[in-house]
Amino acid sequence: MWTTVLVSFCITLAVYGQTMNDSTKLIEDLLNGYDKMVRPIVDQSQPVSLNISMDLVAIQEFDEVLEKFSVVAIIYITWMDPRMMWNPLNYNGLYTTTIPVSNIWTPMLIVGNSFDKIEPIGGDWMTARYYANGVSVYSPGNVFQTTCSVDVTFYPFDTQSCKVMLIPWGSLPNEIALKSNSDVVLKSFFSENGEWEILSTSVALAETNTFSLIQFNIKMKRRPTFFLVNVILPIIFMGLLNIMVFLLPAESEREYFRHYSSTGHCCFFNACWRQFTKTSQPMSMICYFLLVNLSLSTFICIPVPRLLVSITRKLNCMSGPARDAIQPYIPAVINEVSCIEKEKMSYKLIKESSQLWASHEELVNWKEISRMVDKVMCTVSFLWLFISSTAFIVMISNNQEI
């Protein structure tokens, strides 16, 4: 015990006497006869054990349309290299040094699920740190762009699971073995993302006949406030605009209002559609919600059907302005018949004159119909919007399908 303490004390004192010549001599001795093409293990029939962990710095981008997941991360890679061991006492207490990766063996790792191009992580400008006991630490950092399957069914209350998969390129499982001392993704320097909140992380190892891999899984949840204010609430308000058409006076230009409301729904639907992946599996529930509101806009733009005109005329029973306009042309002989029969006879008489027929058609239009059905249609439209909006919000907030 006292021997260990004495040696440690001597090394501590010697640290203050290290010179540039000590570092130069150490690196020259370590690289003398060093072949970076040979795996750092004495028994070449055994695999080199790599300890890998990932330190997440930031979520840079998550593109739902392109299904691209980009993160800034640091990869910590540790292995043992028996060729890089030395006695610190021989170098004035120097127990650690750094060497450019261009001069030493480093594992060639690639991102197996890369979004853009396949290339090894790290670069020749980086360095690896070696310790006197042969431990090597290599920490390349970069922006990793990976593919990620997107599920926007419950947008904007959706959760996404993405991964960064690392594979030792060109190495068999009996040449390089991967492991990790951590079962989660580290977040030592992590900066929170304004759109996404990380729920959990995990690390998984796998092995095939041709390669081994390590997978860093990240599960995250969308922060919905921005999308509630800028997407969901505008859809509901535009649905309320549809209902307002039945509250406008019949004498106003409600025809223009109806068309503008329908056009606004179409434009907003197109803007939302651009945010989602062009796939049917799965479809976002907000697309169905928009379709329901768009169908309401379409419904209020339907021209007056003749059947509705006929029904309205019978319900009116020739009362009001229609009766007053037609009464002069009704023979007195039919004044004693029933209201419905009188309507049929009057309708036949009026039809004989194209001018009177046109006047009669003008009397029985949306203005007249709206007096009778506006309240009913307003109630039906409100229930339509209320039920669809409530069902949509409850369903996506609970992440449950009906």
Condensed to tens digits (0 to 9), the pLDDT of residues 243-252 reads 777 776 655 5
Element (H, E) at 373: helix 366-398
The whole-number pLDDT of residue 1 equals: 41
In the structure, what pLDDT confidence band is assigned to residue 370 with cuts at 50, 70 and 90? low
- Burial (CB < 10 A; 0-12, 13-18, 19+), residue 73, is buried
Confidence check: pLDDT of 217 > 90:
yes
Confidence check: pLDDT of 235 > 90:
no
In the structure, what pLDDT confidence band is assigned to residue 73 with cuts at 50, 70 and 90? very high
CA distance 307 to 157: 45
318 or 36, higher pLDDT: 36
Q: Angle 355-359-364 (CA atoms, 0-180°, nearest 5)? A: 145
* Token reading at 39: 């795996």
CA distance 66 to 5: 60
CA distance 327 to 336: 13
Q: Are 178 and 205 in contact (CB under 8 A)?
A: yes
23 or 345, higher pLDDT: 23
pLDDT (average), residues 55-68: 91
The whole-number pLDDT of residue 220 equals: 95
pLDDT (average), residues 150-164: 88
Confidence check: pLDDT of 322 > 50:
no
CA 358 to chain centre: 56
* Token reading at 153: 């069914």
* Token reading at 317: 């029973």
Confidence check: pLDDT of 358 > 60:
no
SS3 content of the chain, % helix, strand, coil (to 5): 40, 25, 35
Confidence check: pLDDT of 122 > 60:
yes
Cis preceding linkage at 282, omega within 30 = yes
Location of structure tokens 């980086």: 126
Confidence check: pLDDT of 361 > 50:
no
In the structure, what pLDDT confidence band is assigned to residue 14 with cuts at 50, 70 and 90? very low
Spell out the domains of the chain, with CATH numbers in brackets: 47-79+96-223 (2.70.170.10), 226-304+368-398 (1.20.58), 306-364 (no CATH)
Given CA atoms 343, 349, 355, 357 in this order, what sign does their dihedral have?
Answer: positive
In the structure, what pLDDT confidence band is assigned to residue 13 with cuts at 50, 70 and 90? very low
Supply the DSSP string of 230-281, one letter for each residue: IIIHHHHHHHHHHHHTTTS-TTS-HHHHHHHHHHHHHHHHHHHHTTS-S-SS
